[in-house]
Amino acid sequence: MASVQPQTTDTLEPPTNGVNGATTNGTTNGFNRNLSTNSLKKLNSPIPYCGSTNDLPAYARSNSTLSRHSPDSAASVKASGDNLRECTEYVPLHKRIEKRISSGTPFFSLEFFPPKTANGVANFLTRIDRYRDGGPMFLDITWHLGSDPANIEKETSSSSIAAACLAYCRVDTMLHMTCAQYPKEQTLKHLQLAQNLGIRNLLALRGDLPINDSDPSIYPYRALDMIRWVRTHFGNYFTVCASGYPKGHPEAPSYAADIAYLKMKVDAGADFIITQLFFEAETFETFVADCRAAGITVPIIPGIMPIASYDSIRRVAELSKLTIPKHIMDTLESIRHDDEAVTKYGIHLAVEMCRRLLDSGVAPSLHMYTMNREHSCREVLQALGLWQHESIRSLPWLPHGGHHPLRCREDVRPIYWCARPKSYIFRTKDWDEYPNGRWGNSSSPAFNDLQEYYMFYLKGLPNKEAMLQMYSRELNGIEDVCRVFVKFLTQEPNEEGVKISKLPWNEQEFETSAETELIKDQLVWCNENAIFTINSQPSVNSAPSSDPLVGWGKPGGYCYQKAYLEFFISKARAIKLKAVLEQYPQVNYHVINKDASIDWSNSDPTMPIAVTWGVFPGCEIAQPTVVDPLSFRVWKDEAYDAWLNIWAALYPEESKSRKLLQDIHDDFCLVTLVDNDFVKPSVLFEILEQVISDENEAAVTFAASG
Active site residue ranges:
111
What Å distances lie between residue 243 and 33, 37, 265, 615, CA to CA?
67, 67, 9, 46
**Closest to 430 measured CA to CA, from 167, 635, 91, 628:** 167
Query: By the 8 A CB rule, do 132 and 167 touch?
Result: no
**Closest to 421 measured CA to CA, from 505, 492, 545:** 505
Q: What is the 3-state secondary structure (H, E, C) of 465-524?
A: HHHHHHHCCCCCCHHHHHHHHHHHHHCCCCCCCCCCCCCCCCCCCCCCCHHHHHHHHHHH
Give 3-state DSSP helix, strand, coil % of the chain, rounded to 5.
45, 15, 45
Give the number of other Cβ atoms within 10 Å of residue 133's Cβ. Answer: 13
- DSSP H helices, 361-437, are 375-383, 421-427
Backbone φ and ψ of 378, nearest 5°: -65, -45
Task: Give the H/E segment covering residue 529.
Answer: none
Q: How many helices (H) and strands (E) does the chain have?
A: 22, 20
Query: By the 8 A CB rule, do 269 and 231 touch?
Result: yes
Beta bridge partners of 418: none
**Closest to 141 measured CA to CA, from 115, 120, 167, 123:** 115
| Contacts of residue 530, Cβ cutoff 8 Å, sequence gap at least 6 | 31, 32, 35, 478, 481, 482, 569, 570
Cα gap 48→561, rounded to integer Å: 9
DSSP per-residue string spanning 577-592 = HHHHHTT-TTEEEEEE
Count of alpha carbons within 13 Å of 303, Cβ hemisphere only? 22
Beta bridge partners of 300: 273
| Contacts of residue 388, Cβ cutoff 8 Å, sequence gap at least 6 | 70, 72, 73, 76, 77, 134, 135
Q: What does the DSSP 8-state code read for residue 384?
A: T
Query: By the 8 A CB rule, do 371 and 349 touch?
Result: no
Q: At what angle do helices 255-268 and 223-234 cross, to 10 degrees?
A: 10
**Closest to 221 measured CA to CA, from 211, 207, 239:** 207
Buried b (16+ CB within 10 A) or exposed e, 183-208: eeeebbebbebbeebbbbbbbbbbbe
Angle at 332 between CA 329 and CA 337, to 5 degrees: 145
- 491's torsion region: left (phi>0), alpha (psi -120 to 50) or beta? left
Beta bridge partners of 240: 202
